């Protein structure tokens, strides 16, 4: 397995040794605009000869706290640059808007973050961008490409079945086609487990709300890639105004310091939880890429250095069986989302897909009514497993 980033990287990568005021952490700078000494300084700023970062004339174009976090995330992802947004969806939608125009075509996979698909099919569709949905198989991309295809969007791993896309194949299918870019939402992987840019993926996006910030207390998103592509997203951010607040950036930057510690622990805990569940009589099926039974296990082993902190499983007894487990566990809180220090549990059929019929859920989005998504936090694995054991024991009665 490829080693990605270490805790030393998480603490230090992209962070200059000396900060303003000789502070240990990057100080947070709360300002909506920036002053100039005199008119000559404005001219120098406009001409690009002023030492201040070129964007920092007004808060919508840049902020030193956000900039520092962007540089650290770019260093962790191994990309030239990164740009922060107010949420993961702000990052995803701005990147897609920046790379497409009327008449273009976008390819995305059938297992895709629901709002990304909603945006591509409905919002982009309104602006004359067409799209195709392909099955979870990088080989399927080639057949869907047209002369108008500008973007292929994948996720690694996906929600909630933790499917993995073959990044090498994905990049190979995009190669040699003028203007075609690949984008991977690596929120579930984090740079600890997988760095898509190291496979040649053009743009890597994250909901920083999840693992990067890691404490369930802030929303944020980031787009990483070459300087040229990231600057397209940054310029559009200046127009759309979906900027990351410096206070949010400070929290994301603080969370990043413990990213590798947290994710390595979550990888180990989730694997132990998945192995426990797979042997349990009350469980029909477990989805975890670290298990040999997962359809993408071999691929995950080849392209990831850990399998993440989310385990999905189908409880016998359908809707009610899953509901009993969710309601009976004592440690995890019932909530959507994942990636933070607290364990969270939810039943996708109720949380995200309740308006569909059971048949639609099964056939259109592959969500079984008995499916539970369990996101481990940094709790002790034995405690989480004992808790699940008592909840599942009850569910059989």
Ligand X SMILES: *Cc1c(COP(=O)(O)O)cnc(C)c1O
For ligand X, the closer of residues 286 and 375 by Cβ is: 375
Q: By CB under 6 A, tell whether 207 contacts ligand X.
A: yes
Q: Which CB, 218 or 282, lies closer to ligand X?
A: 218
Nearest distance in Å: CB 219, ligand X: 5
Which residues touch 49 (CB under 8 Å, ≥6 apart)?
none
Determine how β-strand 203-207 pairs with β-strand 221-225: antiparallel
Of 183-191, 194-202, 252-260, 369-377, the window that binds ligand X (rule: CB under 6 A) is: 183-191
Q: Does 109 bind ligand X (CB under 6 A)?
A: no
Establish whether 113 is a catalytic residue: yes
Count of beta carbons in the 10 Å neighbourhood of residue 372: 27
Question: CB atoms < 10 A from the CB of 380, how many?
Answer: 11
**Cβ distance to ligand X smaller for residue 187 or 267:** 187
Instruction: State the minimum distance, in angstroms, from the CB of residue 200 to ligand X.
Output: 21
- Does 99 help bind ligand X (rule: CB under 6 A)? no
The count of residues interacting with ligand X (CB under 6 A) is 15
- Sequence-ordered list of residues with C-beta below 8 angstroms from that of 252, at least 6 positions apart, any chain: 69, 84, 208, 212, 213, 218, 220, 244
Do residues 255 and 212 make contact, with C-beta atoms less than 8 angstroms apart?
Answer: yes
Q: Spell out, one character per residue from 113 to 142, where the chain touches ligand X: x when CB under 6 A holds, - when not.
A: x-----------------------------
- Residue range at the interface with ligand X (CB under 6 A); choices 134-142, 182-190, 349-357, 382-390: 182-190
The answer to the question of residue 221 lying near ligand X (CB under 6 A) is yes
* Sequence-distant (≥ 6) Cβ neighbours of residue 26 within 8 angstroms: 15, 19, 20, 64, 65, 68, 69, 250, 253
One of 59, 62, 64, 88 touching ligand X (CB under 6 A)? 88
- Mind spelling out the 3-state secondary structure of 340-387? CCCCEEECHHHHCCCCCCHHHHHHHCCCCCCEEEEECCCCCHHHHHHH
For ligand X, the closer CB: 173 or 187? 187
Choice among 9, 166, 185, 368 that is catalytic: 185
Distance CA 196, CA 185 (A): 9
Supply the DSSP symbol for 14. Answer: T
Among positions 183, 219, 249, 273, the unique one binding ligand X when judged by CB under 6 A: 219
Collapsing DSSP to helix, strand or coil, 389 comes out as helix
Which are the catalytic amino acids? 60, 113, 185, 210
Contact residues toward ligand X (CB under 6 A) are 87-89, 92, 113, 155, 159, 185, 187-188, 207, 209-210, 219, 221
């Amino acid at each position: 397995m490829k080693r990605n980033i270490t805790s030393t990287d998480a603490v230090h990568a992209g962070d200059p040794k000396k900060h303003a005021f000789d502070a240990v952490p990057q100080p947070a700078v709360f300002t909506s605009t920036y002053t100039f000494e005199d008119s000559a300084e404005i001219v120098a700023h406009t001409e690009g000869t002023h030492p201040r970062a070129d964007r920092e004339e007004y808060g919508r174009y840049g902020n030193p706290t956000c900039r520092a976090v962007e540089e650290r995330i770019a260093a962790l992802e191994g990309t030239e640059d990164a740009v922060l947004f107010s949420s993961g969806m702000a990052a995803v939608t701005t990147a897609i808007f920046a790379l497409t125009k009327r008449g273009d075509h976008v390819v995305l996979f059938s297992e895709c973050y629901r709002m990304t698909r909603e945006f591509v099919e409905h919002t982009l569709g309104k602006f004359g961008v067409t799209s195709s949905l392909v099955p979870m198989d990088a080989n399927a991309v080639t057949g869907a490409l047209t002369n108008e295809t500008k973007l292929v969007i994948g996720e690694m791993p996906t929600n909630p079945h933790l499917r993995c896309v073959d990044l090498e194949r994905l990049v190979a299918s995009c190669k040699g086609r003028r203007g075609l870019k690949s984008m991977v939402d690596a929120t579930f992987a984090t740079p600890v487990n997988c760095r898509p840019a190291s496979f040649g993926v053009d743009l890597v996006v994250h909901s920083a709300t999840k693992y990067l910030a890691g404490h369930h207390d802030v929303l944020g998103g980031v787009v990483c890639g070459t300087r040229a592509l990231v600057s397209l997203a940054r310029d559009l951010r200046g127009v759309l105004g979906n900027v990351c607040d410096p206070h949010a950036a400070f929290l994301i930057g603080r969370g990043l310091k413990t990213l590798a510690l947290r994710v390595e622990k979550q990888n180990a805990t989730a694997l132990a939880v998945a192995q426990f569940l797979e042997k349990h009589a009350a469980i029909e099926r477990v989805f975890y890429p670290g298990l040999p039974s997962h359809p993408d296990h071999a691929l995950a082993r080849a392209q990831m250095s850990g399998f993440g902190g989310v385990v999905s499983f189908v409880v016998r007894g359908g809707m009610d069986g899953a509901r009993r487990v969710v309601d009976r566990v004592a440690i995890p809180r019932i909530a959507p989302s994942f990636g933070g220090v607290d364990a969270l549990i939810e039943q996708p059929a109720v949380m995200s897909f309740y308006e569909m019929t059971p048949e639609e859920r099964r056939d259109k989005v592959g969500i079984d009514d008995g499916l539970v998504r369990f996101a481990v936090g940094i709790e002790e694995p034995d405690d989480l497993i004992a808790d699940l054991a008592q909840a599942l024991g009850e569910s059989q009665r």
